[in-house]
Copies of this chain bind each other. A is one copy, B any other.
Amino acid sequence: MLRLSRFLPSTSTSRGVTGLKDALWSGSLTFKHALSTSAANVDENASAKKFASYTVFKGKAALSISPILPLFTKLESGGSRVNRNGSVMLTFFPAVGQRKYDYTKKQLFALSPTEVGSLISLGPAESCEFFHDPSMKSSHEGQVKKSLSITPLGSDNGYFVNITVLNNVQKTNERLSVPVTKAEFAVMRTALSFALPHIMGWDQALSTHPQSAPTSASKPRFERPNPDSEWDR
């Protein structure tokens, strides 16, 4: 039987980002300032942008996941297409005391659509690992290597989510590990499954807008070929 307790504050209690105020009571203002500054950096013009995440706070580190939208490019036709897929950003914070986390030492890992697919199809006893090189295809390729691994806790009890950042220049090797319960992983799986079509832009490709609602009412159907057909070559 799974028991989640709110009575006794413990290192394994999970809470949303709204719990940051309590969790980080000693550094709340600093953290908040950092967050809003970070948000301001994203796009100076996107004043209506909204941010949401899901965060689990554990003994040695916290893990926050949040979705990032794809970018569209205008086409000559006036329409637009996805120019860069969105992603789901994983952010790890090391613990620096009981329920205190150091935001300045965060480690980031952006999941691509296929990596999201790997995570949401993970069986209870399966594991997966992804490798990223921030400087891939530049002269700095290989200087920093990141890996994210997800391994089962055993007995269908959830997973360990581990990030390793190896910096060959600074000769550092940082590793953060967060145990995620079955319930927390169910939240992540549901949130990632929801986010996946959105970070690929499919929700926008499948939404209709008043000015562009496809309708064949005004033109008889037999007078126009179907350009979407597989037979139009």
Contacts and interface: CB of A to CB of B under 8 A. Distances in A.
Interface residues of A, number: 124
B228 A131 contact: no
Copies per assembly: 4
A204 to B, nearest CB: 5
B184 A16 contact: no
A48 B209 contact: yes
A178 to B, nearest CB: 14
A71 B215 contact: yes
Interface in A66-102: 66-85, 87, 89
Contacts of A74: 215, 217-218
A195 to B, nearest CB: 6
A83 B16 CA distance: 9
Interface string A16-35: 11100010000000000001
A79 B46 contact: yes
Interface of A: 1-7, 14-18, 22, 35-36, 39-54, 56, 66-85, 87, 89, 108-110, 112-118, 120-121, 126-137, 142, 145-146, 181-187, 190-191, 193-209, 211-218, 221, 226-233
